Amino acid sequence: MTIVREAIDAFPFEAEPFVIERREDLLLSAPLPHKGAREPRPPLQAAHFAPRYIDQPFVPPRGVYESEFIRVEWQTMDARQPFYHRNCGVDELSFQVDGDRTLMTELGSVELRPGDFTLLPDGVAHDNFGRRDIHLLFYVPGGVVPLQAPVRESRHLLPPFEGWQPAVLNELVTQGLAGPGQDVVMAPVDERLLLEQAARQPRRLQVLRAGDHEGTHWLYQAPEVRIGMARASASDGTRYTRHRDADELHYQVSGTRTLVTQRGCIELQPGDFVCVPRALAFTSIHHQPSSHLVLASRQPLPLVAPASRTAERFSPERLRELRGT
């Protein structure tokens, strides 16, 4: 019989949690027989996207999680995107997964490498030039603010990359979460004039990176969302977490781990997404370093991408084997 500790907390996770002790075998068990009909909740599901660039023609971004409150997309490219894009309604935050990318905007241009986060403010036009590039996109309303100092900033650069030639291109303006059916207008734009705006703008894009020390590093916050990175050299999974009022999305960046929850256990590897619903206890078990992106949301985060795996209930013996005890 393993006794574990459970930390019950609430968004934005700044107050001390309420910590209790539990019998793990009961915490993870099916309910005892009882009167009345209660539909069992389904096990968790994971979605997987290859975390290394694969040669392919340009494809539009693919939705991973989407609701009326927030949208998460997966984007790959090995060229420029077909047009400039201007959000009208959301901030657009990106995380560089693989390859290199030049982000060109009215607030300057900047080179992005794997592990870089950058925040594009609502209303600013932008284009990307990717080289074997994969990046995640988070469309978040309500005004996202950084929680730590940047490692570098965009600059007014012409040309923004070697071989660039100015042209008249299309600019797409979208509303809401910039999802399907939310286009407002597409019209031509003078690219040189657009990028020259940076010479007259005091604001700059800021690039953030998570620190190397262990724990969860919160990098951005909006009224109902926090985004950061969680790192741990190892975890025996004897401390559980339960968020009273927030879903928690994980994207596995490096290493492997077993996510243990009251709705099943699932092995996670780089490229995996999984969302732990609010009020559900969870922990991780791994013996080697692991890092994953974390998005905590006070609004639901339904999966819209195809599920690749489904969580399973692990026995106490299986958990002991995982821990090596």
Give the integer Cα–Cα distance in Å for 290 and 300.
Answer: 26
By residue range, what is the domain housing residue 182? 60-208
What's the whole-number mean pLDDT along residues 231-260? 98
Determine the pLDDT at residue 35.
78
Residues 256 and 122 in one domain: no
Is residue 252 within 8 Å of 190, Cβ to Cβ? no
3-state DSSP call for residue 282?
Answer: strand
Report yes or no on 152 lying in a domain: yes
Is residue 250 within 8 Å of 268, Cβ to Cβ? yes
Better pLDDT: 179 or 217: 217
Residues 170 and 239 in one domain: no
Determine the pLDDT at residue 101.
98
pLDDT tens digit string along 192-202? 999 999 999 99
Q: What is the DSSP string of 70-133?
A: -EEEEEEESSB-SSEEEEES-EEEEEEEEEEEEEEETTEEEEE-TT-EEEE-TT-EEEEEEEEE
Kindly report the CATH number assigned to the domain that includes residue 296.
Answer: 2.60.120.10
Q: How many domains does the chain have?
A: 2
Cα separations in angstroms, 310 against 280, 289, 307? 16, 24, 8
Determine the pLDDT at residue 37.
67
Residues 217 and 201 in one domain: no
In sequence order, the 6+-apart residues with CB closer than 8 A to the CB of 39 are none
Report yes or no on 201 lying in a domain: yes
Report yes or no on 222 lying in a domain: yes
C-alpha 185: how far from chain center: 28
Residues 268 and 136 in one domain: no
pLDDT tens digit string along 275-307? 999 999 999 999 999 999 999 999 999 999 999
What is this structure's pTM?
0.95
pLDDT tens digit string along 202-231? 999 999 999 998 999 999 999 999 999 999
